[in-house]
Amino acid sequence: MTTSMATVLDPGAFAGSVYSGGWVKPRGGAAPIVEPATGAELGTTGIADAEDVAAAAAGAAVAQREWAAATFTERAAVLRRAGTLIEEHADELRGWVVRETGAVAGLAAFAVGVAAQECYEAAALASRSPGEILPTTEPRLSLLRRVPVGVVGVISPFNVPLILSTRSVAPALALGNAVVLKPDLRTPVSGGFAIAAVLAEAGLPDGLLHVLPGGAEAGSALVTDPSVRVVSFTGSSRTGRVVAELAARHLKRVHLELGGNSALIVLDDADIERAVSAGAWGSYLHQGQICMTAGRHLVHEGVADAYIEALSAHANALPVGDPTGEVALGPLIDAGQRDKVHELVTSTVDAGARLAAGGTYEGLFYRPTVLDGVRTDMPAYANEVFGPVAPIVRFSSADEAATLAAESAYGLSLSILTGDAMRGLALAERIPTGIVHINDQTVNDEAVAPFGGVLDSGTGARFGGSANLDAFTDSRWITMRGQIPEYPF
């Protein structure tokens, strides 16, 4: 059973259901889909339990065999068509991203554009060389061949779910796998149902993609199910550790894209006006609910006063409100996230920091915040805030900046703003991180680029280009002889 974009964007099409070769009622019940900006109920989603996951994984394993045997041109055609459909239905998809996640219009448009590009890049991936000829000392042909892993489990978060689901689902399918996707219960449409509808309309055969929103029970079942051979997880570092430990006990390969507390370094020769704009964008885009958000502003003491004054003025001027209107920041995802952000801000101020801007909220709308006089042991500096907060620490030398930036459990993205790009690149070499942007802020994403962090931010680049080949295929050694050799016994 397939569906269409026209029906999936109507909440009545999936009321209380999950997508598993069609709309089915799960065993775990149902939950409302709530618009964070207004509190309005957008629809209801089904909640998958362990039995639902087991049934989906078993069905995916059966369907995958025929899909793996399909030609690369057949798989590529589906992914190309999916990218086209995302662009054709961009208005509807943007609407769901805005209302479901609280993203402003610009970010929603970016998410739709990247999701389409992920499908186009996945289509190209289908025709990549499946292996190589290996040297051998024997009179035989020795080959390395990449083969699909089988069933891929994908767990995606609430913040930018259209991108963070598609970037695993699309390449996994293009390479001949089936997928069981568990999006966050708060964002099941843009994180899953809409993707399923796009792919179904694009011609993906039934049974290859299952979308099962659920909680911890469904997540654990997905990681441990014997049919699922690879798990792609995007989420918090805390939950990522749980996923990794569970996967290890079941000898599963797991790819982890986790949290961040990325440093934005402003050197003394930087263009301060542009640095402030970059810093504001890096910290306040999508209310700071992005893993790459600039969580620590390290500013040279010679320009710090000017930087803080200008950044505070930027923060005070940014409009915050319903993202369907002309605003720069929308709401945080829910009250729990808002309270966490506010606790980190207030405890940092109580510890001696100066509140230079923000630090207040109405409902789920948190004002963009600037914290001056921050020490490295203060809560808003030492932790991932996941909110619109810019803690600022001053430094006096490049050596001190490198030490400060490197003294973090996280290593996802790094920004260095300077009048001398080569000076910035040399500084970056001293800081462990998966991504570096010289003279740009920390939040960047392109489907063609490898993406991933080190340390507590994840297990390295697992998305983009060749990284997808490593993530979603197994390497098989094959030899062939003209005749059977003779052996001593």
pLDDT at 3: 53
* Mean pLDDT of the region 238-266: 95
Is the model's pLDDT at 460 over the cut of 80?
Answer: no
**Among the ranges given (343-347, 403-407, 453-457), the one the predictor scored with the smallest mean pLDDT:** 453-457
Could you say which of 100, 121, 291, 384 is catalytic?
291
Can 119 be counted among the known catalytic residues?
no
- Among 84, 104, 83, 81, smallest CA distance to 94 is for 104
pLDDT at 450: 84
Query: For strand 294-300 and strand 262-266, is the pairing parallel, antiparallel, or unpaired?
Result: parallel
pLDDT at 138: 95
Is the model's pLDDT at 126 over the cut of 80?
Answer: yes
Is the model's pLDDT at 6 over the cut of 70?
Answer: no
Is the model's pLDDT at 110 over the cut of 60?
Answer: yes
**Among the ranges given (195-209, 303-317, 403-417, 449-463), the one the predictor scored with the smallest mean pLDDT:** 449-463
Beta strands in 259-359 (DSSP E): 262-266, 294-300, 354-357
Hey, CA dihedral for 44, 48, 49, 55, is it positive or negative?
Answer: positive
| CA gap 410, 57 in Å, rounded | 33
* Mean pLDDT of the region 255-272: 96
8-41: pLDDT as tens digits: 667 878 889 999 988 999 999 999 999 999 999 9
Tokens of 141: 């042909």
| CA gap 296, 377 in Å, rounded | 12
pLDDT bracket for residue 464 (50, 70, 90): confident
Is the model's pLDDT at 462 over the cut of 80?
Answer: no
Is the model's pLDDT at 405 over the cut of 90?
Answer: yes
pLDDT at 1: 45
* Mean pLDDT of the region 294-322: 98
| CA gap 176, 23 in Å, rounded | 23
What backbone phi and psi angles, to 5 degrees, belong to 210? -120, 130
| CA gap 394, 343 in Å, rounded | 23
Amino acid identity for residue 474 in this structure = D
Burial degree of 68 (CB within 10 A; 0-12, 13-18, 19+): middle
pLDDT at 24: 93
CB 229 within 8 A of CB 150: yes
State the chain's mean pLDDT as an integer.
95
pLDDT at 7: 57
CB 280 within 8 A of CB 311: yes
pLDDT at 465: 72
Can 257 be counted among the known catalytic residues?
yes
* Mean pLDDT of the region 59-67: 97
The pTM score is 0.94
- Among 397, 457, 402, 395, smallest CA distance to 425 is for 402
| CA gap 211, 448 in Å, rounded | 25
pLDDT at 448: 85
What backbone phi and psi angles, to 5 degrees, belong to 321? 170, -165
pLDDT at 4: 58
Instruction: Give the C-alpha distances (Å, rounded to integers) separating 261 from 47, 147, 165.
Output: 32, 36, 22
The tokens 């739709």 sit on which residue?
A: 112
Is the model's pLDDT at 419 over the cut of 50?
Answer: yes
Could you say which of 100, 118, 201, 257 is catalytic?
257
